[in-house]
Amino acid sequence: MSSNRMPSSTHANALPSTDNLSALAQRYARTRQQTVELTRPLSPEDCQLQSMPDASPAKWHLAHVTWFFETFLLERFEANFVPYDASFRVLFNSYYNAVGSKHPRHQRGLISRPTLAEVLHYRQHVDQRMQALISSASKLEASDQHALTELLELGLHHEQQHQELLITDIKHALSQNPARPAYAQRWPLAGTHPQSLGWIRQAGGLVRHGHEPALDGSFAFDNETPRHPVFVAPFEIGDRPVTNGDMIEFIEDGGYQRPELWLSMGWDWVQQNAKQLPLYWQLEDGTYSNFTLYGQVAVDPNTPACHLSYFEADAYARWAGARLPTEQEWELAARSQSQAITGNLQDNAVFHPLPLQERHDGRLAQLWGDVWEWTQSSYSAYPGYKPWEGLVGEYNGKFMCQQFVLRGGSCATPQNHLRASYRNFFPPDAQWQFSGLRLARDIA
């Protein structure tokens, strides 16, 4: 396997210590176990479902993240490497052209074999070999020790991304069942009162943008780098995300029938798909309901709106007399708050946005978790960007076309996966992620 230049570490000049390797081994075990735990409420039949080309079966997610460790770490560093099953190299490759052939993405639901039990055994087998590799890392040459720990760090963050995808993909799959089956049983919402939208002024100026190890931790994906100067004009940003109640006002004011509110591509999308409501919503006898991982429930007006496309977010912002923030504005506002990354995230095991429970005057509420927040920024390279070398160079850079950036994480994102510089990205018509919005506006 070719060499890989990975993100620099705050300990780049020191070999990983025994304690660091032990901590990595523990994190590896916890992260891998969490992925399996997310499938506990699912049957083998659930894990086979693929409801659309953009989604993947839970079984495929379980296998693919395992394939990542086998392909990028075991194959490179393990002495006398032998693959668990040579066919898995094709079956569970996602988009790595340099690795070789791939099974068509839209046909992942047709992979009935290996069975779920066999995939779980594959995970256990690779986990045993990975733990042995980590425990023997001190015997590797210094350059290989660095590469191993950095690839392992990438693999853990990669698995966390697939944990979120597993949740959003199974939600979409279960929504296709007219019985409206629930993934979880304990409905998390309690009664709340509406909170009016406030605005927080940001002075802007010439600021540094992008990953900063001292602020964000040592790990970053390559698309978060390099840190660079950018000028941000003064602006205001909403102190909370847009809620379901806000969206209902938009709907009832004819928002989906007014072409002047929509980008041209967005209006085409509305017309071609007969859009009248956000994804998972229904309107019957004047009552709005939506499908959740708890089944079909009434729409709570005080909960952050989610499963909105970029087109819907942009149209709502225009209807509201505002706009979407740029990702530079979002990051600047996030850093100005000096907030720890806490909120309604995957760690809560709620898997649904929650309404505000308390007053939030003078600060950005629900900045982390609940819903990813669309920005108006196209997903593109920062000045001076260079993708990682080698096979993992395909991880981010080649998707910098026809996508928009989202910030802040969702109720399905692990807490320790996030940082202020983190850039998520999806095409503008994507709805199945927990995506919402926060408004911004210029200061005259």
pLDDT in tens, 221-267: 999 999 999 999 999 999 999 999 999 999 999 999 999 999 999 99
Strands 435-436 vs 372-378: parallel, antiparallel or unpaired = parallel
- Assess whether pLDDT exceeds 90 at residue 394: no
What is the length of the chain?
A: 444
Query: pLDDT grade, residue 14 (50/70/90)?
Result: low
Structure tokens at 390: 């080698």
Cα 367–Cα 368–Cα 371 angle in degrees, nearest 5: 90
Answer whether 74's CB lies under 8 Å from 126's CB.
yes
**What is the distance between the alpha carbons of residues 51 and 109, in angstroms, rounded to a whole number?**
8
**What is the distance between the alpha carbons of residues 189 and 191, in angstroms, rounded to a whole number?**
7
Return mean pLDDT, the chain: 93
Q: 151: phi > 0 → left, psi -120 to 50 → alpha, else beta; which?
A: alpha
Domain with CATH 3.90.1580.10 in the chain: 199-442
Q: Does the 199-442 domain belong in CATH 3.30.70.3400?
A: no
What pLDDT score does 15 carry? 65
264-273 helix and 310-319 helix, angle to the nearest 10 degrees:
110
Exposure string over 389-399, b if 16+ CB within 10 A, otherwise e: ebbbbbbbeee
Around 270, how many Cα atoms within 13 Å sit in the side-chain half-sphere?
Answer: 24
What pLDDT score does 109 carry? 97
The single residue listed with the structure tokens 């019985």 is 179
Domain with CATH 1.20.120 in the chain: 18-175
What are the backbone dihedrals phi and psi of residue 209, each rounded to the nearest 5 degrees, phi first? -130, 140
**What is the distance between the alpha carbons of residues 325 and 332, in angstroms, rounded to a whole number?**
11
What pLDDT score does 32 carry? 98
CATH topology classification for 18-175: Four Helix Bundle (Hemerythrin (Met), subunit A) (1.20.120)
Kindly give, in sequence order, each residue whose CB lies less than 8 Å from that of residue 266, ignoring residues fewer than 6 positions away. 309, 310, 311, 312, 314, 315, 428
What pLDDT score does 186 carry? 80
The DSSP code for 73 is: I
- Assess whether pLDDT exceeds 90 at residue 188: no
The single residue listed with the structure tokens 């593109």 is 380
The DSSP code for 87 is: T
Cα 432–Cα 438–Cα 442 angle in degrees, nearest 5: 140
Cα 178–Cα 182–Cα 188 angle in degrees, nearest 5: 135
DSSP 355-407: ---S--TTS-TT-SBSSEEEEEEE--PPTT--PPSSGGGGSSGGG-SS-EEEE
What pLDDT score does 395 carry? 81
User: Which residue type does 55 have?
Assistant: A
Taking only the tens place, the pLDDT of each residue in 195-224 is 899 999 999 999 999 999 999 999 999 999
Q: What is the pTM of this model?
A: 0.95
Structure tokens at 209: 């943008």
% of the chain surpassing 90 pLDDT: 85
- Rounded to 10 degrees, the C-alpha dihedral 176/179/183/188 comes to 110
User: Which residue type does 299 have?
Assistant: V
Answer whether 363's CB lies under 8 Å from 239's CB.
yes
Taking only the tens place, the pLDDT of each residue in 313-360 is 999 999 999 999 999 999 999 999 877 899 999 999 999 999 988 777
**What is the distance between the alpha carbons of residues 382 and 214, in angstroms, rounded to a whole number?**
19
Taking only the tens place, the pLDDT of each residue in 40-75 is 999 999 999 999 999 999 999 999 999 999 999 999
Cα 278–Cα 284–Cα 289 angle in degrees, nearest 5: 45
What pLDDT score does 13 carry? 46
From residue 392, how far is each of 76, 151, 384 by CA, in Å? 13, 9, 18
Burial bucket for residue 311 (CB in 10 Å: 0-12, 13-18, 19+)? buried
pLDDT, greater one: 189 or 282? 282
Structure tokens at 404: 């928009």
pLDDT, greater one: 188 or 317? 317
Answer whether 240's CB lies under 8 Å from 366's CB.
yes
- Rounded to 10 degrees, the C-alpha dihedral 21/22/24/30 comes to 160
